[in-house]
Amino acid sequence: MGLDQKEFTKAFIKAMNDPSVSQALTGRVSAAVMNEMNGLRQAVQQLTSTVSRLTEKLTEKEEENTRLKEKVTTLEQTLEEKCDSLEQYTRRNTLRISGLEENDNEDAYEVSMDVLKKLPVGDQLSFKNIDRCHRIGPKTTTDRPRLMMVKFATYRMRQKVYKQKRNLNDTPIFINEDLTKRRATLLYEARKMKRAGGIKDCWSADGNIFVRNSHGRVQMVRNLSQLDSVNQQLAAAASASKKSEMNIWAADSATSTTVLHQLQKRVVRVIHKLHPRESTGAYFRLAGIMTISEINRIETAIFAYKWKFSLLPTLFDRFFSLRSDTHSRQTRSAQTFNLIKCRTETRKRSLAFRAAALLNRIYELNVITFSTIMSVKLFKRTLRNAVIDGMF
């Protein structure tokens, strides 16, 4: 006879309260759970291992993909440069002339030849030296004439004409190379850098773009990246020069004041109609004009004078030191400057050394007394008169 639900519940509760029954059930459940947990743990380990292998493979593929992209980019750049070089080579016999007045029903050959005949090489030119000649682009309603494209029969004649383009500098006519779009853009950006003062000069020669930096170094640039690199190098050099006392104008370097002094002497010789090698010292004194080197010395001395009387920004407080700072003896030279130790001649051209030495010399020669402070303007005027009189 079976148990009803109520009796079964009582019997079940009674059995669960029996320690032997609960222990047997716990053992069976624990074993089943442990078996299941072990299975899950093994599955997780296998999945973790699989994910690690897939991650390594994905990393390898990504690295390979990056290398392939770099290779493709390099190949594309190389291909573009080669295609651009080939295109430029096809233009090697061609020049572009701008500024030629344009008229209706004009003969392009006659218009171009009229200008080319004005060059020194014009006697060697004839119509047989020109292969093709025409205007570029459609006609416009503006008064600005279109460019004239002139293709010469030989590269040699083209070069002769191009080398003499400077003979047209006083005219509104310009002769330029026929550059590809890529190289024309590069030259345009270089000219923008020149106008901004980044580089000294830029030009094209035989289809190649060259730039000259502020130090006179000539470098060929093939793309915008190289041009940007030149710009960054110049910016870094300018920043470094501002931080370096060696490059302050007061430092008498042969690359700055000597060139200006030579130009100054040349002007004096032209004004007084002197021989190119005649001495100009007396004429400078006669006209009351100081040389660039003398102006350099005066400006350097003014800098030290401003420091001595605390007229410079606090940034320069420790730029110099007086001998009175190192000893307390009240001697005649107590108010003179300590000279820094210089192991090289370059260091002696630094502002820290030159300015201190100049002011010490002024003190020793008794050109100006420092017992009382005078205005910078009066100091400069007094020092200028001493230089012109040959005292300093």
**pLDDT tens digit sequence for 71-81:** 998 899 889 88
User: Percent of the chain beyond pLDDT 90?
Assistant: 21
Confidence of residue 254 (pLDDT cuts 50, 70, 90): very low
- Sheet containing 208-212: order of strands: 201-205, 208-212, 218-221
pLDDT of 23 above 60: yes
10 three-state secondary structure: helix
* Cα angle 201-202-205, degrees, rounded to a multiple of 5: 135
Q: How many CB atoms lie within 10 A of CB 165?
A: 16
User: What is the pLDDT at residue 20?
Assistant: 74
User: What is the pLDDT at residue 291?
Assistant: 80
Beta strands, E only, the chain: 94-98, 130-135, 148-152, 174-177, 201-205, 208-212, 218-221
Confidence of residue 249 (pLDDT cuts 50, 70, 90): very low
**Higher pLDDT pick, 312 / 147:** 147
Q: What is the average pLDDT score of the chain?
A: 80
pLDDT of 347 above 80: no
User: What is the pLDDT at residue 372?
Assistant: 58
DSSP 318: T
Which one of 83-87, 328-332, 379-383 scores highest in mean pLDDT? 83-87
Lowest mean pLDDT among 44-53, 178-187, 200-209, 350-359: 350-359
